[in-house]
Amino acid sequence: MTLKKIMIGTASCVALTAGAASATDMTIVSWGGAYSASQQAAYHDPYMEANPDVNIINDESSAEAVAKLRAMNEAGNITWDVVDVVASDAIRLCDEGLALEIDADTQLAPAPDGTSASEDFGDLLVSDCFIPQIVYSTTFGYRTDMVGDTPPTTVCDVFDTETYPGKRSLEKRPINNLEWALLCDGVAKEDVYDVLETEEGQAQAFAKLDTIKDDVIWWSAGAETPQLLADGEVVMGSTYNGRLFALIEEQKQPVAMLWDAQVFDLDGWIIPAGLPEDRQQAALDYIYFATDTQRLADQAKYISYGPARASSAPLVGQHAELGIDMAPHMPTDPENAKNTFLYNYEWWADYRDDLDAKFQAWLAQ
């Protein structure tokens, strides 16, 4: 009798929570850490305030999002509502039919002056399924106390082990490294991908990387380079600009940015394909709110990534805690963006598998 009561009690509890869950919960997947915190402050909290019946749950699985979304899709049980991914992953998800196609002009907010969303985002709408949120860059930081009186000024100083002896940290993947190698081997910026498409061009890039191979520590997580710089393990290293900002401005380490030839990349939202109608509608409503001009500008208060909308740039203010102007720390700031490089998504979608095999074989040599 008691057992029966307990069981009925438990069952109704489960039913209640389940009922409550389906009515209000929205699972948003992102990268965790400072990045998720900036989204919480700029997007989630104001959205929940405006929509008291919605409860946003954070999931920090963006690094495995592509694989997990495919697994969910195959299992026919999609538990995520909105997912934050980098643009190349968004393209892959869109290609695999795992992300919902979104029409920027009808499903996103126009700029305050009436400019349509597609024009406001411009070239940054690199996939039909992807709503860009921030522009970040992969760039170099160096130890100011380890470079003598002549701090490095160009990306090619990374390849100059005579003037700047010591280890460098580079990401353990071909993307960006091959482009930098070619740029520093005399290839013009606009020809890089044409050259890299040929066998000789690839050999040329690897040959250039060969010259510093013994001085490189390869990283696979974004936090590694800041740590290596802080420990004095490397004299310079590549990582995401936001990580370097935290290292320089928040932790006050003797590190400076080398913005030269920074590679722009995008991070943004996708909505998984195959959501039930009501959840899809809720996700679209959230996206409409979270990617408008003011919201994108707000995020820059908490983290040094540039908003993806052109109309947001003038609204970027000061850091919420440090009180410093954020504009000079944005990768898109004119002073920093004198020499930039835009990651070619289409090209890498084609050549990634092939070059990755070659890169791994080269590393193992």
Partner 1 sequence: MTSATDDATGPVLAADGTPLKRSLNRALRRQKLRALMLVAPLLLFILITFILPIGDMLFRSVENQIVSETLPRTVVALEDWDETTGELPDEAVFAAFHEDMVIAADQKLHTRLGSRLNYEVSGMSSLFRKTGRRVDRMDTDQPFRDQFIDVDKDWGDVETWSAIKLFSPEYTPGYFLNSVDRTLTPDGIEKRPEDQRIYVSLFWRTMVLSFTITFSCLLLGYPVAFLLSNLPLRSSNLLMILVLLPFWTSLLVRTSAWKVLLQDQGVINNTLVAIGILSDDGRLALINNATGTIIAMTHILLPFMILPLFSVMKTIPPSYVRAAKSLGATDWTAFWRVYFPQTVPGIGAGAILVFILAIGYYITPELVGGTSGIFISNRIAYHISSSLNWGLAAALGSTLLALVLVLYWLYDKIVGIDNVKLG
Cβ contact 169:228 at 8 Å:
yes
Contacts by residues 338-341 (CB-CB < 8 Å, ≥ 24 positions apart): 338/259, 338/260, 339/259, 339/260, 339/261, 339/262, 340/137, 340/261, 340/262, 340/263, 340/264, 341/179, 341/183, 341/189, 341/192, 341/261, 341/262, 341/263, 341/264
361 binds partner 1 (CB under 8 A): yes
Report the nearest approach of partner 1 to the CB of residue 358 (Å).
5
Report the nearest approach of partner 1 to the CB of residue 363 (Å).
4
Q: Which of residues 269-328 bind partner 1 (CB under 8 A)?
A: none
Report the nearest approach of partner 1 to the CB of residue 244 (Å).
20
Q: Which of residues 332-351 bind partner 1 (CB under 8 A)?
A: 346-347, 349-351
Kindly tell me which residue out of 96, 145, 278, 325 binds partner 1, with binding defined by CB under 8 A.
Answer: 96
Torsions phi, psi for 238 (to 5 deg): -95, 145
Nearer to partner 1 by Cβ, of 289 and 347: the residue is 347
Spatial separation of the C-alpha atoms in residues 152 and 158, rounded to whole Å:
8
Question: What are the structure tokens assigned to 211, written together?
Answer: 């010259």
Kindly tell me which residue out of 122, 218, 281, 325 binds partner 1, with binding defined by CB under 8 A.
Answer: 218
Decide the pairing of beta strands 340-342 and 255-270. parallel
Nearer to partner 1 by Cβ, of 53 and 214: the residue is 214
Report the nearest approach of partner 1 to the CB of residue 231 (Å).
6
Secondary structure class of 230 (helix, strand, coil): helix
Contact region for partner 1 (CB under 8 A) — 133-141, 145-153, 228-236, 264-272?
228-236
Secondary structure class of 307 (helix, strand, coil): strand
Contact region for partner 1 (CB under 8 A) — 26-34, 226-234, 246-254, 255-263?
226-234
For 137, 190, 257, the CA distances from 243, given in Å and listed in that order, are 10, 28, 11
353 binds partner 1 (CB under 8 A): yes
Cβ contact 265:239 at 8 Å:
no
Short-list 72, 230, 30, 269, CA closest to 144? 230
Contact region for partner 1 (CB under 8 A) — 24-32, 110-118, 215-223, 261-269?
215-223
Contact region for partner 1 (CB under 8 A) — 30-38, 227-235, 242-250, 329-337?
227-235
Binding mask 142-181 toward partner 1 (x if CB under 8 A, else -) reads -------------------------x----x---------
Kindly tell me which residue out of 77, 106, 150, 220 binds partner 1, with binding defined by CB under 8 A.
Answer: 220
Binding mask 53-72 toward partner 1 (x if CB under 8 A, else -) reads ----------xx-xx--x--
Contact region for partner 1 (CB under 8 A) — 15-23, 33-41, 90-98, 254-262?
90-98
C-alpha angle 49-250-32 in degrees, rounded to nearest 5: 45
Which value, in Å, is the radius of gyration of the alpha carbons in the chain?
23
210 binds partner 1 (CB under 8 A): no
Spatial separation of the C-alpha atoms in residues 263 and 170, rounded to whole Å:
13
Nearer to partner 1 by Cβ, of 74 and 149: the residue is 74
Report how many helices (DSSP H) and strands (DSSP E) the chain contains, helices first.
15, 10
Cβ contact 211:197 at 8 Å:
no
Binding mask 97-136 toward partner 1 (x if CB under 8 A, else -) reads x---------------------------------------
The set of residues, in sequence order, having a beta carbon less than 8 Å from that of 136 and lying 6+ positions away, is: 240, 241, 242, 264, 265, 266, 267, 305, 306, 331
- Chain contacts with partner 1 (rule: CB under 8 A): 63-64, 66-67, 70, 92, 94-97, 167, 172, 217-218, 220, 231-233, 346-347, 349-354, 356-358, 360-364
